[in-house]
Amino acid sequence: CKCNFISFLFLSLGTGSNILSALQDLFWLLKSKVEKQLQIFSVLQWVLTFLIMGIACTLILMYILCTDCWAIAALYLAWLVFDWNTPKKGGRRSQWVRNWTIWKYFRDYFPIRLVKTHNLLTTRNYIFGYHPHGIMGLGAFCNFSTEATGVSQKFPGIRPYLATLAGNFRMPILRDYLMSGGICPVNRDSIDYILSKNGCGNAIIIVVGGAAESLNCTPGKNSVTLKNRKGFVKLALRHGADLVPVYSFGENEVYKQVIFEEGSWGRWVQKKFQKHIGFAPCIFHGRGLFSSNTWGLLPYSKPITTVVGEPITIPKIDNPSQKDVDFYHSIYVDSLIKLFDKYKSKFGVPDTEVLEVN
């Protein structure tokens, strides 16, 4: 009976090569599941960083001041005072942090891809206009604040600086975390320093539409807030920094948002926040942590493809007139529209779609 059982077992499992094949399939299945969980974790930690890290770190620091470990918090606060102006002077980037493996899992969750269309000269400085904002600017972060999509290999000799709200750099711990990725405040002092006192080969990425644009982002919609956004053009003229249009296909697809109509109480509240605080609170949702069929904070895993367009040569004019600003702004708008039209069909946008410029 024992021999019959063994014979039956081998017949059921087949040959040794089949068993090995089955075990390999099982191994790759388990590895795939582990990688998916790591991707989810990598995105979740960034979402929580974006939403609550600044406030959480501030509260924790205040709590430590009231405990027996108050000296640790006091030392950090002393360091904070000493280091207060570092974000305005190019920050303190860390290639180690930018190359963390976690960012590769972050990239693969969507996935996110960076497309280069033209070479950039290391003898020039640049201002990248990033469009659209989306809810969190996930493509902007992954492509320019990490090395997950190979920005340093695709643009050798170019140092990218992603510009974000200056208020983030008043938050303890968060400021240091942001600076390690090469993120800087989106204010005149910081941009002036990078473009005038940091040599050449710098690229400042400005999400031009800002909070106003985030209020209108929704899946299937391709619109940018740009008509009256001319400050970045004036900065480019003052420093002779070339303008580079950047469009991120899929940025609006990863979250769903409740859009309040103009004149509604909801839009009134959003605009008040935007005016006085610098950001606009959005009511949005993605997928749940354990299922894509439930609501949650995780973005949907939709492809994001960021296309870096052709640089526009900008002359250096110390005091540009409004006519100068309007002229180069119109060139920039035209270049952005051409970039969108050229690549839209390649990245899932219908040929009939028109970029809406507000």
Question: Encoding tokens for residue 299?
Answer: 């973005």
Distance CA 145, CA 121 (A): 20
Hunting for tokens 């250096």 — which residue is that? 316
Q: Which of 45-54, 263-272, 346-355 has the lowest mean pLDDT?
A: 263-272
Per-residue pLDDT of 300-335, as tens digits, reads 999 999 999 999 999 999 999 999 999 999 999 999
SS3 content of the chain, % helix, strand, coil (to 5): 50, 15, 35
Single-letter amino acid code for the residue at 150: G
Q: How wide is the angle at C-alpha 156 spanned by C-alphas 208 and 120, nearest 5°? A: 55
Output phi, psi for 99, to 5 deg: -100, 10
Q: Is the pLDDT of residue 62 over 70?
A: yes
* Residue 20 pLDDT class (50, 70, 90 cuts): low
Contact between 285 and 198 under an 8 Å Cβ cutoff? The reply is no
Domain 69-357 has CATH 3.40.1130: yes
User: 63: how many CB neighbours lie within 10 A of its CB?
Assistant: 12
User: 3: how many CB neighbours lie within 10 A of its CB?
Assistant: 7
Q: Where are the domains of the chain?
A: 69-357
**Residue 122 or 260, more confident:** 122
Contact between 316 and 237 under an 8 Å Cβ cutoff? The reply is yes
Q: What is the pLDDT of residue 10?
A: 46
Per-residue pLDDT of 214-232, as tens digits, reads 888 889 999 999 999 999 9
Nearby residues of 58 by Cβ (< 8 Å), 6 or more positions away? 171, 172
Question: Encoding tokens for residue 301?
Answer: 């895993």
Question: Encoding tokens for residue 50?
Answer: 């974006």
Output phi, psi for 171, to 5 deg: -90, 125
Contact between 287 and 295 under an 8 Å Cβ cutoff? The reply is yes
- 74, containing H or E segment: helix 70-82
Output phi, psi for 6, to 5 deg: -65, -40
Q: What is the pLDDT of residue 352?
A: 92
Classify the phi-psi angles of 137: left when phi > 0, otherwise alpha if psi is within -120 to 50, otherwise beta.
left
Output phi, psi for 285, to 5 deg: -155, 155
Span between the terminal Cα atoms of the chain, in Å: 81
